[in-house]
Amino acid sequence: MKILIRAAVLTAALVSGAGCAVVPIDRATDNVAKRVDERVGAAPQWAPDTGEANAEAAPQFETPMTLSAALKLAFTRNPGIHRLYARLGSAHADLQEAARIANPTLSFAWLDPSNGGRDQTKQGISATFADLLLLSSRRRLSTAEFRRLELTVAADLVALAREVEATWYAHLGALQIAAMRDAVAQAAENEAALAQRYYEAGNINRLQLDLQTAAAARARIDALRAQSNAAASRAGLARLLGLRADAAWQTIDRLPAPPEVPLPGDKLLPQALNQRLDLAAVRDEVSILEDSLGVTKNWRLLGSVEAGYESEREPDGSKLRGPKLIFELPLFNQGQGAVERAEARLLDARARRDALVRDVENEVSTGIERVTIARDITDRYRDSLVPSAASAVARRQERVNFMLDGVFELIRAKRDEYEAWQAYFESVRDYWIARTALRAAVGGSLPGDEEAGASTIGVDEIEHMDQGEQP
């Protein structure tokens, strides 16, 4: 009886709001876009029917393509973003349903009291009441869940951007390395061609010629491998940008120079804990489960009320979670199992949240260390190794001028310089990849990201440098 009174009071209170509208889907996509834009500097371009249209439309981008153009392309053309949009759409549908009471049950009827149908009547009322009684909680929980889903979709989009960035830097590095390897191969081939003339003049023997020829072939094979690597990285990028690898698009061909702005090591962790979307999502999950546990406990005598989540893993790895509100009559079961289950789920979510916090802490501190070291390495290449290798060519030239060394030693010095340049480009590439990982760990941009970055030197410039010219 007490329950019935309580139910009646609450029903009266809730019925008034039963038909009110939920958040429109546009607002949700705007929220997602805003969150992504804050973190990436680009936002997904969604329209309900864009999926197919975009795949057909000719891609629009400046040429040669820059990183921000690549991100824009990925956010327009990557098939994954449409799947995320679809996920948002079905979640929104769930929300719509959860926000409304079930339609009246037509089977509900007053039976003759003399027939002893009182219990039946009561049962029928209870069912409607339960729906009504739970509506408020269900709507609150569903709305919270939808917000959580927005967060995970936004997190996936940020992750996509990070993948594009990492692939981008790897590709630019591969282009520069391929160009350097080509320069090395050309140098080795010049050396071998000269060796051939020395051999024809009778001045070196077959052994020396064989060694030179083998060295030139080896250098050319290395150059071809580097060319193949560049093609593979182009294909990887094409996949992310929704482009055909064999279409006529070109990226810029130089890695950006590492920015001068130092990393504020102590500020990044608080920043990460604030803006990591996956962390926000798991935090929301914890609070939703806390709320559900309360609801479950409050209403357990009405019937076991189970408010929680189902989750299942999709083949593509994404998780679908949905609110679950089930009530039943407490005839045999007064909800003990439902409460226990809700408690277990909450415990699990809290554990996942705590684990993620620890992961974030470690990712940030490791990321800072890796970026700092990568930066140190690029500086050593720039300030010391490359200038020394270039200077060694100039010194070698002086020795050749005074007939202390010959042309072969000179070309070899130049090859060593090219190798130093290549290692420098590799270090810059590694720097950017480490920095991208740190961005992902922090969950947003880093100080210096907004700097209008200088570019590294072009390989064509290196090839036309005078001996002794300091980079």
Partner 1 sequence: MNITRRNWFRWAGASSLLPLAALAERATAQDHDIHAEPTGAPRMTPPTSGAPGLTPVRTLNGWTLPHRMIGSVKEFHLVAEEVEHEFAPGSRAKCWGYNGTTPGPTIEAVEGDRVRILVTNRLPEHTTIHWHGILLPSGMDGVGGLSQPHIAPGETYAYEFTLRQNGTHMYHPHADEMVQLAVGMMGMFIIHPRGGEPQRIDRDYAFLLHNWALHPGTYRPDPAIMQEFDLWTFNSKVFPAIEPLLARTGERVRIRVGNLSMWNHPIHLHGVQFHVTGGDGGRWPRSLWRSEATETIAVGQTRDLEFVAVPGDWALHCHMSHHTMNAMGHTVANPLGVKRGELDEAVRRMLPGYMSMGEAGMAEHQEHADMGHIQGPENTLQMLGGQGAFGNLEMGGMFTVVKVRDDQAPGDYREPDWYLNPRGTLAQRVSNDADFGAPVRRGHKAQSVPPLESMSVDHLKMKYGS
Footprint of partner 1 (CB under 8 A):
183, 186-187, 190, 193-194, 197-204, 206, 209, 393-395, 397-411, 414, 463-464, 466-468
CB of 208 to partner 1, least distance (A): 8
- Tell me if 31 sits within 8 A of 43, measured CB to CB: no
Residue type, 373: I
Q: In terms of CB distance, is 23 or 394 closer to partner 1?
A: 394
Q: Is the preceding omega at residue 64 within 30 degrees of 0, hence cis? A: yes
Is 368 exposed, middle or buried (CB count within 10 Å of its CB: 0-12, 13-18, 19+)? buried
CB of 230 to partner 1, least distance (A): 22
For the CB of residue 195, give the shortest distance to partner 1 in the complex, in Å.
8
Nearer to partner 1, 2 or 464 (CB): 464
> Measured from the CB of residue 260, what is the shortest distance to partner 1 in angstroms?
32
CB of 313 or CB of 464, closer to partner 1: 464
Nearer to partner 1, 143 or 199 (CB): 199
Closest distance to partner 1 from the beta carbon of 428 (Å): 23
CB 177 to partner 1: min, Å: 18
Query: How far apart are CB 213 and partner 1 at their closest, in Å?
Result: 10
Q: In terms of CB distance, is 142 or 467 closer to partner 1?
A: 467
Contact 309, 323 (CB under 8 A): yes
Name which of 348 and 409 has its Cβ closer to partner 1.
Answer: 409
Q: Return the number of the residue (200 or 379) whose C-beta is nearest partner 1.
A: 200
